[in-house]
Amino acid sequence: MKTFIASLLALLAVTPQRTLDEFFNDFTARWVRNNPNLAVSSRYTGDERDRLEQQLAPETMEYKKSRILMVGYGPPSTGFSLALKRIGDRLKARLGDEVDVKYVYNILDLGYREDDINWLVEEGVLTLGYQSSGYFSKRVPDLGVADLPFLFPDVKTARAAIDGRLGQVLAAKLEAGMNYRVLGYFEAAFTHFSNRLRPIRTPADMKGMRMRVRPSKVQARTFELLGAEPKAMDLSEFIEAVKAGSVDAQENAFANTVTYGVHKFHRFHSATNQCYVSRPVFVHRPSFDAWPQRVQEEMRAAAQDAVIFQRQLHVKEEDDAMAAIRMEGGEILELTAQEREAFVRAVSPIYGEARSEYGRDLLGLVGL
């Protein structure tokens, strides 16, 4: 909590004081309600104890219905953050004073980890967030199927799958395993390799590279098969590891590589299109279910509109990111079909392993 307060103070120069005060008071009150064993102590007496007891009192239904706190992990200028703002703007336009919308565009700026978004929304501290599907695979193992490499030949095919039966099944599994309602899928799109050591044209070029991976067994296994040394790291840890040189490589969309400044440390980039990454947009289920039907419907419609909006922005973001990488002195290798096929062959054992890990129906949805 001290880190959170310090981070808020550091943002005073760019955020109106009134907005910060409102957000801090609300965030603190929700944290206290969800962590009473940590917040209540015998050291609180008199007025302090009374204030805490008041914070711990149940929220009114009206408050629960109206307050929507959205969270992400990118700067305000990214397509993901702009999509959150689009959701909020549409809700305000349609519902007016029925909703009170606030944003935490980049939770890393407040001293939190990317994966903290999961519990903050699940516990109702925050209302809505987005996250790469691999971050859920420990709690909901079937979501690991989305991390399998080289499933889709192009963005059109990948979107059709995630907007169709595959996305519906994954959403149902996520809702069954965690305290969410899934509203749609933002797009991080296809990932590529970047590293600080050497150009990557073949799997042999990756031998011994210390590769950052998300907390996904599938992603880690993929890079083991490619000869790299996978190291699972939260985004917050990875950014510091890149600066320190304690990790050599990563896979990410070009836009994400630039957003987090990795292109300033990684000279070599290979356009491999190995994994299509989607980011479920999810909301705290008890809050959502407590809203009037009209608010629920408007939220679902706003999220779907924002998904389309974010994907359109992402196309240009990828182009702009490639230009930024080259401007920084980076090299982007475009692999031939034969070179890419060598990577597909190298990871092929993972498909056999997947058949013993996931059900036949689920694998059928990704063409295996």
Supply angle C-alpha 79, 333, 74, rounded to 5.
20
| Per-residue pLDDT, 66 | 75
- Measured distance CA(306)–CA(312) in Å, rounded: 10
Domain boundaries, the chain: 1-58, 192-276+318-364
Closest to 135 in 3D by CA, of 116, 148, 121, 160:
116
Instruction: Supply the pLDDT for residue 26.
Output: 61
Contact 241, 163 (CB under 8 A): no
pLDDT of res. 25: 60
Closest C-alpha among 3, 63, 70, 62 to residue 29: 63
| Numbers of helices and strands, H then E, in the chain | 17, 11
Q: How far apart are the C-alpha atoms of 298 and 42, rounded to whole Å?
A: 45
pLDDT reported for residue 51: 56
Residue 178 in 3-state DSSP? coil
CA distances from 202 to 140, 193, 268 (A): 33, 11, 13
Give mean pLDDT in consecutive 10-residue pieces for the chain, a chain of 368 residues: 45 42 57 50 48 49 69 95 97 93 92 92 94 93 96 95 97 97 96 97 96 92 97 90 94 95 97 95 95 95 98 96 97 95 97 95 95
Instruction: Identify the DSSP state of 106.
Output: B
Q: Choose which CATH entry (3.40.190.170, 3.90.1150.10, 3.40.50.10380, 3.40.50.720) describes domain 192-276+318-364.
A: 3.40.190.170
